[in-house]
Amino acid sequence: MTILKGIRDETAKEDIMRLQQLGAEFRKTNRGGLITFHGPGQLVAYPIINLKNFKTSVRWYVDRLEETVIKICDELGIKANRSPDTGVWVEDNKIAAIGIHASRYVTTHGISLNCDNDLTWFKHIDPCGIKDKGVTSLTNETGVICTTNNMMPIFLKHFEQVFDCKTEEFDTDLQKKILDGLYNKIMIDAM
């Protein structure tokens, strides 16, 4: 399990140590937002987009990511919506978190959609710094196991519709090479 800490996050060192003792890997990143969780059963999408090819607005980009998830939920019969707290919500429970970074209108980081993940990890943190709301998953909301493998084609379909684009699939070795290079650059920039 990985706990991510945004650049504005002020998680205390003793809390970090407590999370590590529970088995979490802890990473500080340069994305917006506060502490969050990534783990198995969660669809994590970090689109790398030059917004100059779309619209030079970070708010527009966040709105489009939210719209993608809302359309996924709608297809599955889930009533999801936006909130001033950012992300996508089913009533007072967050189903998808958004934490992005943009430099010269090129985006990194993105969204995490709770498909069929262990939600108990969220009990150990205040996800995105929000204390008085819960989390949910596609599986919880539909009563059907929604694996990331089953949800990925639905995600890509709605992403392509919302962004009016085509996605490209890369083989695993090329993905790793690209992501390792980006991760190293991001970590250097975050220091």
Q: Which residues are annotated as a binding site for substrate?
A: 31-38, 97-99, 110-112
CB 127 within 8 A of CB 97: yes
Pairing of strands 2-5, 88-90: unpaired
Residue type (1 letter), 29 = T
Q: State how far the Cα of 108 lies from the Cα of 49, in Å rounded to an integer.
A: 8
Active site annotation includes 128: yes
**Residues 115, 128, 146, 165: which is the catalytic one?**
128
The span from the CA of 177 to the CA of 120, in Å, is 32
Whether the CA torsion 71, 131, 137, 166 is positive or negative: it is positive
* Longest CA–CA separation in the chain, Å: 45
| Residue numbering of the annotated binding site | 31-38, 97-99, 110-112
Two tokens, residue 122: 């969220």
**173: part of which helix (H) or strand (E)?**
helix 172-190
Annotated catalytic sites, by residue? 128
